[in-house]
């Protein structure tokens, strides 16, 4: 039986009871509209912890686009059904008033980490993510928290926040889960039309192609090639393609400049914004 709580107090009481019995707490924060990507994180959390908490909260303060917030799917009943048999033991699904009885004015300084890519194109987004994840960590007090690598920059920001605030939680990065045709799983995929859905795997095709061939080009040339390949489709509008250091997320000039590099992309297909990435080396 999965326990469903809507208040912070009830959630804390439930979790503290488990902790007092010596149980370890695994946590998977989500905004709901669960798909196989989330389920994989939850199963991993269940394999590595005694008690697994999933939060379902569409966090209004991380949306820089009101239309995106309004259209974000809210499917709690279906989500609860999908969670059956995954090992999830508690779902925390608060209201916005429960999470933010007053505006949360916390400020973070992530240096250059949130000035590029998503941070540049979605002003305020990472501040909203950091505020909610900090708050959720304080409520759930997990031993381990699980995040997908599709949101590569989000993962870097959360790791940085945990380190800056010395929070006693281990962040566990989990590989991107893809559909059979390569499209990275995302709650936003449900909003694609049939034609857009057929075209969407091009994003991963462009990324996996460049993983094979990047050493023939300089980093900037790689960026141009991936952008060009995606733009060839009339369905896509590329927002950015960035070739960056895996740690700092900053661009660089030569492959020898960094130990590990990742290509990150954000592109609109119709009105749906998709992101994806691939680690080159």
**Interface contacts to ligand PAF, rule CB under 6 A:** 29-31, 59, 62, 129, 132-133, 151, 154
Residue 195 Cβ vs ligand PAF, minimum distance, rounded to whole Å: 27
Nearer to ligand PAF, 32 or 219 (CB): 32
Q: Catalytic pick from 35, 38, 125, 143?
A: 38
Q: Which residues make Cβ contacts (< 8 Å) with residue 183, sequence separation at least 6?
A: 189, 197, 200, 201, 203, 204
38 is an active site residue: yes
Question: Do the beta carbons of residue 90 and residue 52 sit within 8 Å?
Answer: yes
Nearer to ligand PAF, 11 or 154 (CB): 154
Question: Do the beta carbons of residue 36 and residue 123 sit within 8 Å?
Answer: no
Residue 114 Cβ vs ligand PAF, minimum distance, rounded to whole Å: 13
Nearer to ligand PAF, 56 or 244 (CB): 56
Nearer to ligand PAF, 174 or 218 (CB): 174
Residue 38 Cβ vs ligand PAF, minimum distance, rounded to whole Å: 8
Nearer to ligand PAF, 188 or 223 (CB): 188
Residue 190 Cβ vs ligand PAF, minimum distance, rounded to whole Å: 14
Catalytic residue IDs:
38
């Amino acid at each position: 039986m999965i326990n469903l709580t809507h208040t912070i107090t009830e959630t804390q009481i439930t979790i503290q009871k488990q902790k007092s019995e010596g149980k370890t707490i695994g946590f998977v924060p989500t905004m709901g509209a669960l798909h196989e990507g989330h389920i994989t994180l939850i199963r991993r959390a269940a394999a590595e912890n005694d008690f697994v908490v999933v939060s379902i909260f569409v966090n209004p303060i991380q949306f820089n686009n009101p239309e995106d917030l309004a259209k974000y799917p809210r499917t709690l009943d279906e989500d609860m059904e999908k969670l059956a048999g995954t090992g999830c033991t508690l779902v925390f699904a608060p209201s916005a008033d429960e999470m933010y009885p007053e505006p949360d004015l916390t400020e973070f300084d992530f240096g250059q980490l949130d000035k590029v890519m998503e941070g540049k194109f979605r002003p305020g987004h990472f501040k909203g993510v950091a505020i909610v994840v900090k708050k959720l960590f304080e409520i759930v007090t997990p031993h381990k928290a699980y995040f997908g690598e599709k949101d590569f920059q989000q993962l870097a920001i959360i790791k940085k926040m945990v380190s800056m605030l010395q929070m006693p939680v281990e962040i566990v990065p989990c590989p991107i889960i893809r559909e059979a045709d390569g499209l990275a799983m995302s709650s936003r995929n449900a909003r694609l039309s049939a034609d857009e859905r057929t075209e969407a795997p091009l994003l991963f095709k462009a990324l996996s192609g460049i993983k094979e061939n990047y050493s023939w080009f300089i980093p900037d040339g790689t960026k141009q090639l991936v952008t060009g390949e995606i733009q060839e489709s009339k369905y896509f509008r590329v927002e950015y393609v960035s070739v960056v250091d895996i740690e700092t997320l900053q661009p660089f000039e030569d492959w020898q400049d960094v130990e590990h590099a990742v290509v990150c992309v954000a592109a609109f297909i119709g009105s749906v914004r998709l992101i994806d990435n691939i680690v080159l080396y």
